């Protein structure tokens, strides 16, 4: 063959390429066989390959807690396992494993949590690489339990499903079909218990004495286990099908009714073809926290500042900033559902989640009437409490303010305008907070006394990490919400919650958002630590000091080049207020307070009005830098005597 010809040269090139690829493939294949047939001893002293493994793929700690529950159950049945965090595990050691149980949460956009990023990438790349083949994990048996929320739609339990598919593609033997925990159906806890019991049952008939290696399927069946028991029946698979959109599983960590009651729950949980938002599980959890549930989707709760001002011990920051009477303020919501799962949620995510209204809807008049009745009943219960002043108690029985910010997303309620109208008709002011994911709802909202938008971060990346939104286009919705806020004529507020280590460094990014929404005010508050929770990794280290909040606020005001100045503070709440100088600083004096009676007169008139039409002068004690630090001198300050351990 002459090498001078073009076809000959191309043929030679093809042969050389094929030879090179064969050498690469052979080398790679030998390496895989080395893992499968002649395992190299693992050098990490913290992990032993003599035991089966339980992996927890977790972000907020829920899957880890479940894994520990399973670990304890297996241990009590004399089944020896290692509990493994994937971030501490070398995935190339998977071919050495004989049994792996995986409890996997799905994070944002259907992706795995950070602790399993490398582990997941390795599985995915190996399963898709044709050079790896389908025998790599042939020694390994596995089962996967998914932790997810049906509210995420197509990405619900995506990680667990992917693991199952990828492990099988690599030759692993799945002893149970992937189970998908979903508290949207209200049966999570016992679904997990049923799966755990199934696993234990299989292992007790199919595990060798050392607790590591399952016998073959033939041996297991010879021990009396049917195909349905070993690998899951079709009836059980059908039981797990179906979805709803109300509660995030990462946030409940398993408190559901019996899995066997699913069909009954679906039947009893609906009214006129619509599911009730508040399931028995959610109701029990919220009532335990002091909530009074109204109908099927609303709630009311007495605030600690209401109790404080009933006793003449001071009001909340809204008293200092805007002149509300805390003892006459009702904290409520017409929608317990929310479209975010913020890491600093002080309700520990016991409320439902959803991207649209899909539940039975209660009448707005009924909600208002019941909320006032429940609120006043809670006020009455304060009678006889030491320090409660009779005059304040009588005033408290007639609420004059409503903070529509209790929990969830009030603006999701389809009849929010009718509800606001009813409150105003009773001359009750409205402070409504929205999480900036429903811009069209903001546009359609009637005038409220003060409209808040939560601005929890200044960039797309940090907002995604902090708010954990359900919507894929959350940033676009956020920006559109700020634009909608700009068009409102009544008082508007950006609410910033500072979390050390998460968003306190984003000053420039926050400043850039000012021009989009042009808010009247910017509330800057340090995050409130609410104790340990499976839904949040925050600690006291993430809580800023008041001095930190002040420094942040002063710097942010400077960035505005005079458009905003620090106007007020409430030291007790670790909260500072920036105000628009052009509107609310008149002849060097602040007018951040509200003339509530004038506001109600303006609403009743039906004529257009703006935020400056009902502003009132701010008292000197509430102004930033005042000696009182935002504490009303007409109140009696009370400090608890604290007994700290030495050295703290």
Confirm whether 195 is domain-assigned: yes
Residues 341, 192: one domain?
A: no
In a domain, 529, yes or no: yes
Per-residue pLDDT tens over the stretch 105-125: 988 778 898 899 999 999 998
Q: Are residues 407 and 539 in the same domain?
A: yes
452-485 confidence digits (pLDDT tens): 999 988 999 888 888 888 888 999 999 999 999 9
**Exposure string (b/e) for 127-154, b if CB count within 10 Å is 16 or more?**
beeeebbeebbebbbbbbbbbbbbbbee
Q: Is residue 423 part of a domain?
A: yes
The Cα angle at residue 257 between residues 251 and 263, in degrees rounded to 5 = 115
* β-strands 329-333, 298-301 pairing: antiparallel
Average pLDDT over every residue of 535-560:
83
Pairing, β 292-294 against β 298-301: antiparallel
Q: Flag whether 108 is in a domain.
A: yes
In the chain, the number of structural domains is: 2
DSSP string, 427-473: T-EEEEEE-SS-HHHHHHPPP-SEEEEE---SSHHHHHHHH--S-TT
Q: Is 462 domain-assigned?
A: yes
Is residue 368 domain-shared with residue 465, that is, in the same domain? yes
DSSP E strands: which ranges in 292-353? 292-294, 298-301, 329-333
Q: Cα(474)–Cα(472) distance, rounded to whole angstroms?
A: 5
Query: Residue 139: which CATH number?
Result: 3.40.50.360
* 319, 491, 596, 597, 609 from 603: Cα distances, Å: 22, 13, 11, 10, 8
Is residue 244 within 8 Å of residue 184, measured between CB atoms?
yes
Q: Rounded to whole angstroms, how far apart are CA atoms 489 and 293?
A: 33
In this prediction, residue 208 carries a pLDDT of: 35
pLDDT band for 351, please (50, 70, 90 cuts). low
Q: Residues 358, 506: one domain?
A: yes
- What is the pLDDT of the chain when averaged over all its residues? 79
Euclidean distance between CA atoms 360 and 295, whole angstroms:
10
Read off the pLDDT of each residue in 494-521 and give the average, rounded to a whole number. 89
Task: Please say which residue of 205, 237, 256 terminates a domain.
Answer: 205
Coil, helix or strand for 99? strand
- Domain termination residue (choose one: 141, 176, 205): 205
Residues 189 and 297 placed together within one structural domain of the fold: no
Same-domain status, 183 and 329? no
| Among 142, 172, 205, residue at a domain's last position | 205
| CA-based end-to-end distance of the chain | 88
Considering the domain architecture, whether residues 436 and 306 belong to the same structural domain is answered as: yes
65-69, 250-254, 301-305, 519-523: which has the minimum mean pLDDT?
250-254
CATH number of the domain bearing residue 612: 3.20.20.70
3-state helix, strand, coil in the chain (%, to 5): 45, 15, 40
Closest CA to 157 of 177, 174, 173, 137: 177
pLDDT value of position 186: 61
Question: Against a cut of 0.85, is the pTM above it?
Answer: no
Choose among 203, 461, 250: nearest CA to 349: 250
Cβ–Cβ under 8 Å, residues 37 and 68: no
Indicate whether 615 and 495 sit together in one domain: yes
Residues 6+ apart with CB under 8 A from 620: 626
- CA separation, residue 467 to residues 7, 147, 509 (Å): 62, 19, 16
Q: Both 192 and 339 in a single domain?
A: no
Assigned domain for 34 exists: no
Q: Which of 357-371, 372-386, 541-555, 614-628 shows the lowest mean pLDDT across its residues? A: 541-555
Domain residue limits at 171: 52-205
Let me know if residue 585 belongs to a domain: yes
Return all residues near 614 (Cβ < 8 A) that are at least 6 apart.
594, 595, 596, 598, 599, 602
| Residue 274 covered by a domain | no
Evaluate whether 248 touches 183 at the Cβ level (below 8 Å).
Answer: yes
Give the Cα separation of 612 and 594 in Å (integer).
9
């Amino acid at each position: 063959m002459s090498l001078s010809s073009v076809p000959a040269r191309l043929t030679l090139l093809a042969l050389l390429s094929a030879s090179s690829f064969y050498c690469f493939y052979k080398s790679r294949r030998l390496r895989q066989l080395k893992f499968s047939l002649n395992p190299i001893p693992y050098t990490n002293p913290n992990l032993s390959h003599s035991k089966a493994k339980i992996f927890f793929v977790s972000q907020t700690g829920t899957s880890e807690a479940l894994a520990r529950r399973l670990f304890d159950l297996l241990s009590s049945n004399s089944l020896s396992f290692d509990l493994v965090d994937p971030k501490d595990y070398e995935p190339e050691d998977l071919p050495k494993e004989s049994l792996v149980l995986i409890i996997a949460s799905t994070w944002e956009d259907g992706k795995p949590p950070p602790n399993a990023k490398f582990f997941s990438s390795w599985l995915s790349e190996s399963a898709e690489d044709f050079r790896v083949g389908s025998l790599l994990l042939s020694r390994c048996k596995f089962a996967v339990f998914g932790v997810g929320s049906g509210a995420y739609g197509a990405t619900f339990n995506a990680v667990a499903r992917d693991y199952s598919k990828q492990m099988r593609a690599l030759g692993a033997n799945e002893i149970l079909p992937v189970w998908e925990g979903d508290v949207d159906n209200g049966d999570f806890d016992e679904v997990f218990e049923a799966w755990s019991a199934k696993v234990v049952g299989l292992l007790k008939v199919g595990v060798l004495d050392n607790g590591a290696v399952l016998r073959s399927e033939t041996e297991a069946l010879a021990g009396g286990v049917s195909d349905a028991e070993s690998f899951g029946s079709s009836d059980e698979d059908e039981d797990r099908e179906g979805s709803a959109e109300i509660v995030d599983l990462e946030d409940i960590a398993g408190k559901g009714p019996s899995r066997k009651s699913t069909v009954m729950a679906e039947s009893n949980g609906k009214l006129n073809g619509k599911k009730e938002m508040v399931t028995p599980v959610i109701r029990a959890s919220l009532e335990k926290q002091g909530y009074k549930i109204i109908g099927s989707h609303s709630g009311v709760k007495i605030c600690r500042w209401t109790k404080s001002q009933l006793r003449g011990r001071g009001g909340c920051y809204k008293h200092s900033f805007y002149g509300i009477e805390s003892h006459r303020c009702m904290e409520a919501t017409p929608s317990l559902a929310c479209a975010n799962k913020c890491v600093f949620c002080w309700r520990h995510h016991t409320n439902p989640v959803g991207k649209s209204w899909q539940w039975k809807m209660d009448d707005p008049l009924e909600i208002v009437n019941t909320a006032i009745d429940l609120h006043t009943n809670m006020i009455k219960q304060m009678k006889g409490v030491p320090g409660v002043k009779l005059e304040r108690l009588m005033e408290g029985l007639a609420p004059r303010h409503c903070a529509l910010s209790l929990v969830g997303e009030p603006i999701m309620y389809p009849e929010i305008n009718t509800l606001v109208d009813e409150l105003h008709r009773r001359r009750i002011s409205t402070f409504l907070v929205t999480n900036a994911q429903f811009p069209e709802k903001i546009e359609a909202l009637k005038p409220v006394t003060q409209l808040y938008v939560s601005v929890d971060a200044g960039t797309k990346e940090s907002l995604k990490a902090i708010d954990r939104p359900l919507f894929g286009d959350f940033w676009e919705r956020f920006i559109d919400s700020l634009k909608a806020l700009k068009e409102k004529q009544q008082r508007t507020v950006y609410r910033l919650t500072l979390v050390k280590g998460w968003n306190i460094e984003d000053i420039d990014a926050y400043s850039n958002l000012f021009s989009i929404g042009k808010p009247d005010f910017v509330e800057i508050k340090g995050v409130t630590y609410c104790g340990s929770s499976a839904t949040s990794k925050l600690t006291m280290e993430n809580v800023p000091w008041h001095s930190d909040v002040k420094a942040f606020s002063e710097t942010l005001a400077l960035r505005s080049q005079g458009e905003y100045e620090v106007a007020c503070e409430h030291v007790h709440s670790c909260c500072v207020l920036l105000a628009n100088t052009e509107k609310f600083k008149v002849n060097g004096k602040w007018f951040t307070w509200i003339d509530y009676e004038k506001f109600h007169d303006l609403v009743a008139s039906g004529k257009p009005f703006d935020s400056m039409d009902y502003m009132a002068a701010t008292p000197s004690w509430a102004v930033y830098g005042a000696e009182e630090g935002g504490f009303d001198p007409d109140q009696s300050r009370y400090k608890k005597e604290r007994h700290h351990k030495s050295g703290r």
